[in-house]
Every structure is written in structure tokens, then in C-alpha cells.
Amino acid sequence: MRKKIALIGGGQIGQNLAMLAAMKELGDIVVLDVPDYVNPVKGKALDLMEMAPHGSYDANITGTSDYKDIEGADVAIVTAGKPRVAGMSREDLLSTNLKIITDAANGIKTYAPKAFCIIVTNPLDAMVYAFYKLTGFPRNQVVGMAGTLDTARWRSFIAMELGVSVVDVAGTVLGGHGPDMVPLPRLTTVGGVPLVEIASQEQIDKLVYRTREAGTEIVKLFGKGSAFFSPAFSAIIMAESYLRDKRRILSCAALCEGEYGIKGLFIGVPALISAKGVEKIFEIKLSDEERAQLQKTAEGVKKTVGETKL
């Protein structure tokens, strides 16, 4: 029997998630959105079904506004929410998107209580925390997409700056999904060569800044809306690692319960994603400067989470 994937939100990210999940043949897909948007979602689902012969994938893709249709889902990816627009911070989104994440949490808890849940909605660090508190799911069952995307951006910018293949760039980004995130140049390599040996300090500083401001850079370019290709693929590789027990170690917003001296917060850390969900968090030995940066981003996440009042 095929696995079942529930996509909560059928906008730009949701439609890309549906296409990627279908092309990877991860399972049957249900795209859910509000009643006012259900016909466009059904249209997107039908369009993807009509693409299947050329895409050579077998998947049943449907659109709905009824949470009953996600019953028994193995994975739920939540993207529903208002996108950022130019001049808006992630925190500005909190009150509006908290109501949306509450509806998603209640629907998934009722109809797909065993699903591995990946939260993409911004402000991500607060939304994944809110979803976790509202559902009462175990910590291994809930995760935020953030660090996976932040690390992809970090790797991309390094490859662009140095004129090398992105495949050869390895590194990670810790912390909250915002301007205080913590790229780790010291532990980043290009084809096994340490980044600090092939890039100047000026280049590294520029790359760190660009990574921290990556989401804002795209928002400014779009004028309205935010990134959708890269967040979708970031969430899909997390879902794939769970569904196929690939056991990938990915930076993602996992619940820390003492790791890195952080307790009770979802924050970007390297985590093993397996068929058990978030199976393990890995603690990197950080320098004093890196640890101070991580503590700063944790304080920012704590402040935002406090505004949820959960």
C-alpha cells in the first residue's frame, strides 16, 4: 500500500511540494486548503495527474478542504499561512498565522495522529512550537523545516561566490530561522578543503550576512510573497528521509531538551531523520564565539515563542 502525504496549504509551496512528492513517488497526496480556495487546489491536483504520463510517476493526487480526507496520513507538511511581504518581519506574521496553525494542529490531531509533521509556516520557530504544544505529539513526531533550507542557502551562496559545484560544498547552519542564525564557516568544506583556507574573511563575512538575510532578499525581489521552490524541496527531503528511512542528518528545527544548553525550544540543530522521526540530535563542539551566537539566536526564538502564550 502506498504511503499517504497530507499537504496543509495549497499555495506556491504546497503545489511545489505536491509535484516533488509525486515525482519522487513518495505516496498518494492530499492537498488541503480553505473552502474559498478549494477549487484552485483541486485544479492543481488534476493538472499534476495529467502531467503523470510525462513525469512517469504513479500517485493519486487530490484537493480538498475537508480534514477527513487526510485521515491516516503518514506525513503532514504544513505550509498554510500568510506569506511575508516587503517590509514585514516574520514576527509580524505571528498573530495571523497562529490562528491558522491552530486549525491545522486540530485537524491533524483528529485525523492523522500518527503522522510525522513538518512545519514550514512562518515565523517558523514559533509556529512549530505552537503546533507541538497544541497537538501534544511526542518530540520525535514534530519538526520545523528551517535549518534544512538555511543550510541549502549557505551552500548555494558559497558555490556561487567561489565558482564551484554546490555538490562539493558541505556545511551546516544552526539556530533560529531569522537574522541571528548561525552558519559555521569553521566546519564548512569545499571538496574536503576547509572554507577558511580558500575564502577570504571578507568573503566569509559576506556569505554569512547573505545567508542570514536570504529570505528577506527574496521577499524584496518578489515585492509580494516569499520563497517557494527551495522551502518545498527542503521539506520534501525531510519527508523522504522519514518515509524511506534514509537516516539523513539534516539541520532542522528540532525540540531541544538540554542539547546545546537549550531547553524547551525548537531550534535549528543537526538531527537524524529516520523512520522513527527525529531520532537523535547531534551536539557539535562549538567555539566560545559560536556558542555565544547560538545563545543569542536562542534568546530571540524564546522571545517569539513567548508571544504565542502557549
148 within 8 A of 249, measured Cβ to Cβ: no
Distances in whole angstroms, Cα of residue 99 to Cα of each of 14, 139, 308: 19, 22, 10
Spatial contact of 43 and 143, defined as CB atoms under 8 Å apart: no
Best CA proximity match to 126, nearest among 153, 152, 101: 101
* Side chain identity at residue 85, one-letter code: V
Q: How many CA atoms lie within 13 A of 2 on its CB side?
A: 17
Active site residue 54: no
| Set of cell numbers at residue 112 | 492523522
DSSP state of 14: H
Q: Which of 3, 4, 155, 177 is catalytic?
A: 177
- In this structure, what DSSP letter does residue 123 have? S
Cell of 48: 499534476
DSSP 82: P
Catalytic residue set: 177
